[in-house]
Structure 1
Amino acid sequence: MPHANREDVMARRARQRWMGVLARASVEELERHLPEPLPEGGYSLLRRPETGSVMLRGRAGGTGERFNLGEATLTRCTLRLADGTIGFGYVMGRRPRHAELAALFDALLQQPERRDSLMDSVIEPLARRQEERRQAITARAASSKVDFFTMVRESTAGDAGA
């Protein structure tokens, strides 16, 4: 990003974060947080929600050569608010309503007069709940973890001289 200034980088990271939060939220959570009323003139769909496949790629050790891991189902949607703001929604699975809501929130979050309010009332609470769920899953998994390096090897009579 040699030509991107710091503000552009920060704005891009903020948008990536909220799009991730929106993609991980449930449809019910997004429906509950829909602003009332919607922006004047509503929105029009530029690309109706459509489902397809994407190739997932990985790297051995996170830094090695890339390899194709497999395919996943993804639904995407693009819409335009009456003021011309364009929003995008990408969600895993076959969830057209989820993709449409994610695109709507993406467009609304791009509007400076709405951003702070939506970040405080929608994105941050959703992000906290998602982190709490992630920590609960991690804790459950950690409770069943076996640390093989701390296990003591049983010695037998035959091993005494070894």
Structure 2
Amino acid sequence: MKDLQDDTGGAADRRAWMGLLARAPSGRPAELLDALGPRPAADWLRRPETGSVMVQGRAGGTGAPFNLGEMTVTRCGLRLADGTVGHAYVQGRDKPHAEAAALIDALMQTGAAERVRAEVLDPLAAEAARRRDTRARKAAATKVDFFTMVRGDD
């Protein structure tokens, strides 16, 4: 099993795919994972459980942190037969989403990583990019340009 925490690039990659899985629409990671074929057997380290986490904010994005409020999350952890461990934290109470995300996290640390990236993560990333583009176009349509006219009072 490859320990991604020792590899700065690997840890950054893992953060990226875990963030992508956490932000994916409910049910979509499971749908793409199931298209790969039967799911591998895994033992639970932590069954999916729902709780809350404190969300912090920063004034202006750079100021001192302050507690913004609590958010409901579902987390779980599992271990594949080869010993590879996968974890997931997803917003809300969606246990199947958390299960699929943890399994994908574990598979991304195995020899199946390239196939999982091509058939699960890349489509999720493309869909997320389309959602961002749509949101940006809607925001741009409401943009108002203010300008100052020179009045000619000499």
TM-score, normalised relative to structure 2: 0.86
Aligned to 2:125: 127
Q: Offset at 1:64?
A: 1.1
- Among all aligned residue pairs of Structure 1 and Structure 2, give the percentage whose two residues are the same amino acid: 50
Q: Offset at 1:116?
A: 1.3
- Within-5 A mapping of 1:10-89: 10-34=9-33, 35-39=36-40, 42-89=41-88
Alpha-carbon distance between aligned partners in 2 of 1:134 and 1:49, rounded to the nearest angstrom: 29
Which range is displaced more, 19-28 or 73-82? Answer: 19-28
Q: Kindly indicate whether structure 1 or structure 2 has the higher relative contact order, using CA contacts under 8 Å at least 6 residues apart.
A: 2
C-alpha root-mean-square deviation of aligned residues, in Å? 2.2
Instruction: State the 4+ residue runs in structure 1 displaced beyond 6 angstroms.
Output: none
Aligned to 2:135: 137
Partner of 1:76, secondary structure, is: strand
Partner of 1:61, secondary structure, is: helix
Which range is displaced more, 134-143 or 25-34? Answer: 25-34
TM-score, normalised relative to structure 1: 0.82
Unaligned runs of 5+ in 1: 1-6, 156-160
Unaligned runs of 5+ in 2: 1-5
**CA deviation profile, 1:64-111 (whole Å, cap 9, x unmatched):** 111111111111011111111110011001111111110000000111
Question: How many residues in Structure 1 have an aligned counterpart in Structure 2?
Answer: 147
- Flag the 1:81–1:142 CA change in 2: closer, same or farther, 3 A: same
- Flag the 1:151–1:126 CA change in 2: closer, same or farther, 3 A: farther
